Amino acid sequence: MTPTAPTPAYRRLSVEERRSQLLAAALSLFAHRAPEDVSLDDVAEAAGVSRPLVYRYFPGGKQQLYEAALRSAADELRHCFDEPREGPLLPRLSRALDRYLAFVDEHDAGFSALLQGGSVVETSRTTAIVDGVRRAAAEHIFQHLDVTEPGPRLRMTVRMWITAVEASSLIWLDEDKEPPAADLRDWLVEQFVAMLSVTARRDRQTDALVRSLAEDV
Amino acid sequence: MTPTAPTPAYRRLSVEERRSQLLAAALSLFAHRAPEDVSLDDVAEAAGVSRPLVYRYFPGGKQQLYEAALRSAADELRHCFDEPREGPLLPRLSRALDRYLAFVDEHDAGFSALLQGGSVVETSRTTAIVDGVRRAAAEHIFQHLDVTEPGPRLRMTVRMWITAVEASSLIWLDEDKEPPAADLRDWLVEQFVAMLSVTARRDRQTDALVRSLAEDV
């Protein structure tokens, strides 16, 4: 690998571009297969490069590549939550859910493998990445609800709904993506309101929120 | 370790009793610490036996002991769901939840470590044990609801509620067991009815169930 005689492929891309290319190849493999079933050879082949090149960028091997791919998927997922703070609240939630469900649809096998646990590449670091996405989702929701200091009951309700969304996405994948995504999305939005309404019976902050949601059409 | 000169401790217990004793010691350690923080020496000490004896019973070391302890905890948890099929349904659910929350209370750290994932002793086998408990919980619920063939929407709702119960138990432990268990239990029962009611709008089977729940006081 002397600088005077690089192979064309090595010359074309900058370090950053090459890294992104390898990550994209890895992500699309990890999206549709369990991590156990993806080898570094597969990644090299998908990216059209040699195995040693993959190792040069990811000296930690598959574990490092998996974590990097997961981080990039987590960033993508966070973007699903980006929604202007304008207009009625529930349609904002619907739009974010549409993007989220499209993501789940696109990364089906990887999403299942990751969230169902027990994977060989699962570590406290991968768990932390997933938890970061959950936290980001909760923060987005509180921002949209205009709540700066959610009390424990409201927090518990929102976190519970987020978990319920995850669980139903996994079941949805299990059930061959039935019902259609739009039905699932409407049902999840209604579940959100129903869960908040139960909490509202015992919690003033949540009660005020539910009232404002009812008025905000 | 010749049969003519056993130490008294080795003589007193049968193989099955010894195994149970080691498992109980392991379970109480795993219940209150992350598996990473439990060594075989700790288990031997807690059981008042030697480390080699622990290895004799569990030649697979900590992983095997952890899985066996988990299996025994899973059995215990399944017993929480045992509830006579008599009387109004929601009080039955409340009683099962009381027992479940007492279990969570008693196994707090171990419960969190297990369900939060990323643990060093987590494998596809431990995941399967936990999934088995989830499935058992769902089956119990369908039996109590007198549903022999739950349709996909009802199934999704019940599985979603079970996940929500798990998530709220973890949050409850995180929040130093606040609100009090009885409050959490009532709230979870109300969430159950609310989630089913949302599904009832789109699903006849669930609609019939919700009507019968409303009449069943």
CA atoms within 13 A on the CB side of A148: 0
**Band of the pLDDT at A126, cuts 50, 70, 90?**
confident
Q: Tell me if residue B75 falls in helix, strand or coil.
A: helix
Query: pLDDT digit string (tens) for B153-191?
Result: 999 999 999 999 999 999 999 899 999 999 999 999 999
How does DSSP assign B1-50, residue by residue? --TTS--HHHHHS-HHHHHHHHHHHHHHHHHHS-GGG--HHHHHHHHTS-
Query: pLDDT digit string (tens) for A11-62?
Result: 578 888 999 999 989 988 988 888 888 999 999 999 999 999 999 999 999 8
Contact list in A for residue B175 (CB cut-off 8 A) is 152, 156
Give the dihedral sign, CA A17/A23/A29/A31. Answer: negative
Long-range own/partner contacts, residues A76-85 (CB < 8 A, 24 or more apart): A76/A103, A77/A103, A77/A133, A78/A133, A78/A136, A81/A136, A81/A137, A81/A140, A83/A140, A83/A144, A85/A143, A85/A144
For residues A207 and B11, give the distance between their C-alpha atoms in angstroms, rounded to a whole number: 64
B196, closest residue in chain A (CA to CA) = A191
Contact by Cβ (8 Å): B108, B173: yes
Given this structure, which CATH class describes domain A81-215? mainly alpha
**Band of the pLDDT at B103, cuts 50, 70, 90?**
very high
Instruction: Report domain extents, chain B.
Output: 8-63, 81-215
C-beta atoms of A178 and B125 within 8 A? no
Contact list in B for residue A187 (CB cut-off 8 A) is 198-199, 202
Please tell me whether the interface predicted TM-score (ipTM) of this complex is above 0.90. no
Average pLDDT (A129-156) is 93
C-beta atoms of B164 and A166 within 8 A? no
Query: pLDDT digit string (tens) for A37-50?
Result: 899 999 999 999 99
If interface means Cβ-Cβ distance under 8 Å, which residues of chain A face chain B?
116-119, 122-128, 130, 152-153, 155-156, 159-161, 163-164, 166-168, 171-172, 175, 178-179, 183, 187, 190-191, 194-195, 197-199, 201-202
Contact by Cβ (8 Å): B117, A122: yes
The percent of residues above 90 in pLDDT, for chain A, comes to: 61
Query: pLDDT digit string (tens) for B15-60?
Result: 889 999 999 899 889 888 888 889 999 999 999 999 999 999 999 9
Contact list in B for residue A153 (CB cut-off 8 A) is 179
C-beta atoms of B156 and A164 within 8 A? no
The whole-number pLDDT of residue B10 equals 52
**What's domain B8-63's architecture?**
Orthogonal Bundle (1.10)
**What's domain A9-63's architecture?**
Orthogonal Bundle (1.10)
